[in-house]
A and B are shown apart, each in its own frame.
Chain A
């Protein structure tokens, strides 16, 4: 028994099965991210005035990652085109680039996560708030060291767009002076909760896409010898997924970094 239209196109629908399947899957992905984006809209609109953070992201790293993903979209397309014209060597080269770019993206993401998770907001007993990157937090010492600044009011930490060049110093804080301390994880506020959830889910998609592309690039390439048309279709379908994941980032970047 053979399922029809696994490789060849069905004339009246103009599409082969897997391509239709991936488009349907992407439609559901739109709804998945749509649900999360609608959460973003609702929570942001419903936030108390003046409490929604701005300028909390490293725009330089975000822009780099945007370029990285845009380049990977190009290499993915070229990899598929190479299969189409029968140049398997080029396919291997372009998808090697895709995989490297994906790895670069994830590495930069890890750096960004680390920046957030290592950033502490410390309420001091004298009413001041210290905010900055943790430099030393050795339980043996009765102090910790951060690089950042001290402010008198929490509202000074909300909108950082105009404070890009605020003076940062490295200073010690005795543990006895700490009232409450919390790092900038997803528990810190709704903005970071959305940031970590949305980018985390997106990073999982990048990882999943890399595994599929890595499979086609590695052990899956055997199919090229026996059934090149089918292999090319697989490259196309995985490429469609990859472009979708890139597209999600195109929405995430302005929503989370630039506004």
Chain B
């Protein structure tokens, strides 16, 4: 007997939890400021997160285009954008040329923005905020005002990061990993801004994570037992736990790096540190390895923060569009829990080359191989779910289907990096870049696009245009692969990352006769990648236009256009403040598609067990 059902006798449970004046609240107009800017409604906050994160993704993409130009054409002025850059950033972009310092800034900020201001807020905060309370049948998040504060901290963190481009010396230059002592030795204030921005973003994640966990544990509707939760909710729960527990050590590290910067401590500065050929004059005794440990203690779980919500989204969309239950729901749930746990003990596989010792390397190599098992289980379950299904092809489904092989490539190419011996060769090459971009860009990002196309009708009451959605998909799919596939080749041939001139000084053209130089064919790939990236940018135009056009002009649809079973589709469209007209009650698992003997091929979670086939699909039976 499940406790959640037991505590709500159907006879009077609804009255007991009928929110006082919920209908009044639903029609109450809070005005522009309270309604859209300082809203505590989870749906508005989800949209705020989503829009802000999409803008940051676009901005991070532009940084990347500029870097790709510099890599392919080192020292040449950027066409079109060059004069603008010089006007905005001044000296570092003199003559419209991206200086090596500016390249370093762009590199550090591209990583920071894409991870902390783009993907995480979109995957976790935006989708989580909008969808999770609806999926579990809650009226809102457990702490609506904390939720608002979470977005505000995120926004402020983003502003600090953006402002840092315009301070003297520009933004942080030490890579998104900000390794000390490099990060402390660069004599500009960019790193300080980075740290302050990160502390704000960490605060935002912390508030969000507490809120999500409390919401999922406390606000599940009556009957929504743990094994009836949609997989997306499980993924978000585990993600929230990772954020809750992995981010604070980075905050601790950020505090210590700030002390190194401001109070001239030596947490990460070793004895006898010399900068620019001179003794740095620090007390010393610090450990650069300490920073790396603390950074990657967040950094690696962060990878799962990026990927788990994406897997959740893909799972929902596959279930809806295969019209059959997800294969191995329980395996998925236990796998995601296992990933959540294991993600905390794999971090040092980023540090094989630091000289931390072979025993430690061996340990982390073992855990890294172990964590690939639950990841493969999840991917396999999703793949097998397609077997024998009458698959409905639409834009969200195309993106979800593409996610599977793309994430597969990203994951499998990670194995040589997880092994100590092969990583020694591949470490810090373009191979690594190709690997993690396959996980995050055509992997996570495709799932996020799928999610946008999938839930757009719930948010606006209209579908996005299908033709332009497919144009967006095929353009993205082709050019994404053209951008990242050549990088594997470049990396295997030994091209290092983070070089402002794209490795020209190691090329056969510049140092003929030296051994193991980069051949011209490998250098030539830079140009290909540049134009593939530009084309990838152009392929996003249909999405942007489609997105805004469809808000007003898309095809009008009802509450449940995909005929899905989960609760968010049983709510009114768009869901009003407080979400459900009547508090829902849950009678079944999340993926009851094509149940034999049922008159429709989907059975919503809130449809009662005893319901006659003629029963209308009302959100909740009122006894």
Give A residues with C-beta under 8 Å from B: 1-5, 10-13, 15-18, 20-21, 24-25, 27-29, 31-36, 38-39, 42-43, 46-48, 51, 185-190, 193, 196-197, 201
Asked if B4 is at the interface of the complex by the 8 Å CB criterion, the answer is: yes
**Can you identify 17 A-B contacts, CB atoms within 8 angstroms?**
A1-B26, A1-B578, A17-B218, A21-B214, A24-B209, A25-B210, A31-B244, A32-B252, A34-B249, A39-B290, A43-B285, A43-B290, A189-B283, A190-B265, A193-B256, A193-B266, A197-B259
Interface residues in B, total, Cβ within 8 A: 56
Q: Mark B247-282, 1 if CB is under 8 A from A, else 0.
A: 111111101100100011111000100000000001
CA distance A25 to B251 in the complex (A): 14
Asked if A193 contacts B218 (CB within 8 A), the reply is no
Instruction: Give chain B residues whose Cβ lies under 8 Å from the Cβ of A15.
Output: 218
Which DSSP category, helix, strand, loop or mixed, fits chain B's interface? helix
Give B residues with C-beta under 8 Å from A: 3-4, 6-7, 17, 19-20, 22, 25-26, 139-140, 142-144, 146, 206, 209-211, 213-214, 217-219, 244-253, 255-256, 259, 263-267, 271, 282-283, 285-287, 289-290, 293-294, 297, 577-578
Asked if B219 contacts A24 (CB within 8 A), the reply is no
Task: Give chain B nearest CB distance to A191 CB in angstroms.
Answer: 9
Task: Give chain B nearest CB distance to A131 CB in angstroms.
Answer: 16
The 5 A-B residue pairs with the shortest CB-CB distance, nearest first, are A35-B252, A1-B578, A35-B249, A12-B3, A193-B265
Partner of B265, one of A1, A17, A197: A197
Q: A4-B218, A24-B244, A196-B259 are in contact. List 18 more A-B contacts (CB 8 A).
A: A2-B19, A3-B144, A3-B219, A21-B146, A28-B206, A31-B245, A31-B246, A35-B248, A35-B297, A39-B294, A47-B285, A186-B259, A187-B282, A187-B283, A190-B283, A193-B259, A193-B263, A197-B255
Asked if A39 contacts B267 (CB within 8 A), the reply is yes
Asked if A27 contacts B244 (CB within 8 A), the reply is yes
Partner of A35, one of B253, B283, B285: B253
Instruction: Give chain A residues whose Cβ lies under 8 Å from the Cβ of B206.
Output: 25, 28
CA distance A12 to B577 in the complex (A): 26
CA distance A1 to B219 in the complex (A): 13
Task: Give chain A nearest CB distance to B91 CB in angstroms.
Answer: 32
Q: A28-B247, A39-B267, A197-B259 are in contact. Are A190 and B285 (CB under 8 A)?
A: yes
Instruction: Give chain B residues whose Cβ lies under 8 Å from the Cβ of A43.
Output: 267, 285-287, 290
Partner of A28, one of B22, B209, B219: B209
Nearest residue in A to B285 (C-beta to C-beta)?
A190
Asked if B249 contacts A27 (CB within 8 A), the reply is no
Asked if A10 contacts B290 (CB within 8 A), the reply is no
Asked if A190 contacts B266 (CB within 8 A), the reply is yes
CA distance A1 to B366 in the complex (A): 50
Instruction: Give chain B residues whose Cβ lies under 8 Å from the Cβ of A3.
Output: 139-140, 142, 144, 219
Q: A2-B19, A3-B139, A11-B3 are in contact. Are A32 and B264 (CB under 8 A)?
A: no
Task: Give chain A nearest CB distance to B35 CB in angstroms.
Answer: 14
Instruction: Give chain B residues whose Cβ lies under 8 Å from the Cβ of A42.
Output: 287, 289-290, 293
Asked if B4 contacts A12 (CB within 8 A), the reply is yes
Q: A12-B4, A20-B217, A28-B206 are in contact. Are A2 and B20 (CB under 8 A)?
A: yes
**Of listed B4, B263, B265, B578, residue having the most chain A CB within 10 A:** B265
Asked if A46 contacts B3 (CB within 8 A), the reply is no
Instruction: Give chain A residues whose Cβ lies under 8 Å from the Cβ of B217.
Output: 13, 20
CA distance A1 to B580 in the complex (A): 10
Instruction: Give chain A residues whose Cβ lies under 8 Å from the Cβ of B6.
Output: 11-12
**Of listed A16, A17, A28, residue having the most chain B CB within 10 A:** A28
Asked if B142 contacts A21 (CB within 8 A), the reply is yes
Instruction: Give chain B residues whose Cβ lies under 8 Å from the Cβ of A36.
Output: 252, 255-256
Asked if A28 contacts B3 (CB within 8 A), the reply is no
Asked if B139 contacts A28 (CB within 8 A), the reply is no
Asked if A11 contacts B7 (CB within 8 A), the reply is yes
Asked if B248 contacts A24 (CB within 8 A), the reply is no
Asked if A5 contacts B218 (CB within 8 A), the reply is yes
Asked if A32 contacts B251 (CB within 8 A), the reply is yes
Instruction: Give chain A residues whose Cβ lies under 8 Å from the Cβ of B251.
Output: 32, 35
Partner of B140, one of A1, A11, A16, A29: A1
Partner of B285, one of A2, A16, A48: A48
Task: Give chain B nearest CB distance to A212 CB in angstroms.
Answer: 14
CA distance A27 to B244 in the complex (A): 8
Partner of B267, one of A28, A33, A34, A193: A193
Instruction: Give chain B residues whose Cβ lies under 8 Å from the Cβ of A47.
Output: 285
CA distance A11 to B9 in the complex (A): 13
Instruction: Give chain A residues whose Cβ lies under 8 Å from the Cβ of B282.
Output: 187
Instruction: Give chain B residues whose Cβ lies under 8 Å from the Cβ of A33.
Output: 252
Q: A43-B290, A196-B263 are in contact. Are A1 and B577 (CB under 8 A)?
A: yes
Instruction: Give chain A residues whose Cβ lies under 8 Å from the Cβ of B271.
Output: 48
Nearest residue in A to B294 (C-beta to C-beta)?
A35
Q: A28-B206, A51-B285 are in contact. Are A197 and B143 (CB under 8 A)?
A: no
Nearest residue in A to B20 (C-beta to C-beta)?
A2
Task: Give chain B nearest CB distance to A54 CB in angstroms.
Answer: 15
Nearest residue in B to A36 (C-beta to C-beta)?
B252
Asked if B263 contacts A20 (CB within 8 A), the reply is no
Asked if A39 contacts B252 (CB within 8 A), the reply is yes
Partner of B263, one of A4, A10, A32, A187: A187
CA distance A251 to B388 in the complex (A): 59
Task: Give chain B nearest CB distance to A33 CB in angstroms.
Answer: 8
Nearest residue in A to B297 (C-beta to C-beta)?
A35
Instruction: Give chain A residues whose Cβ lies under 8 Å from the Cβ of B294.
Output: 35, 38-39
Instruction: Give chain A residues whose Cβ lies under 8 Å from the Cβ of B250.
Output: 35
Asked if A28 contacts B245 (CB within 8 A), the reply is yes
Task: Give chain B nearest CB distance to A130 CB in angstroms.
Answer: 19
Asked if B252 contacts A17 (CB within 8 A), the reply is no
Nearest residue in A to B141 (C-beta to C-beta)?
A3
Q: A187-B265, A197-B255, A197-B265 are in contact. Are A1 and B139 (CB under 8 A)?
A: yes
Task: Give chain A nearest CB distance to B200 CB in angstroms.
Answer: 15
Q: A1-B25, A3-B140 are in contact. Are A31 and B219 (CB under 8 A)?
A: no
Instruction: Give chain B residues whose Cβ lies under 8 Å from the Cβ of A187.
Output: 263-266, 282-283
CA distance A61 to B214 in the complex (A): 40
CA distance A15 to B217 in the complex (A): 10
CA distance A31 to B294 in the complex (A): 11
Q: A43-B287, A197-B255 are in contact. Are A21 and B219 (CB under 8 A)?
A: no
Instruction: Give chain B residues whose Cβ lies under 8 Å from the Cβ of A10.
Output: 7, 218
Instruction: Give chain A residues whose Cβ lies under 8 Å from the Cβ of B286.
Output: 43, 190
Task: Give chain B nearest CB distance to A1 CB in angstroms.
Answer: 3
Partner of A46, one of B263, B287, B577: B287
CA distance A13 to B226 in the complex (A): 12
CA distance A258 to B206 in the complex (A): 33
Asked if A2 contacts B248 (CB within 8 A), the reply is no
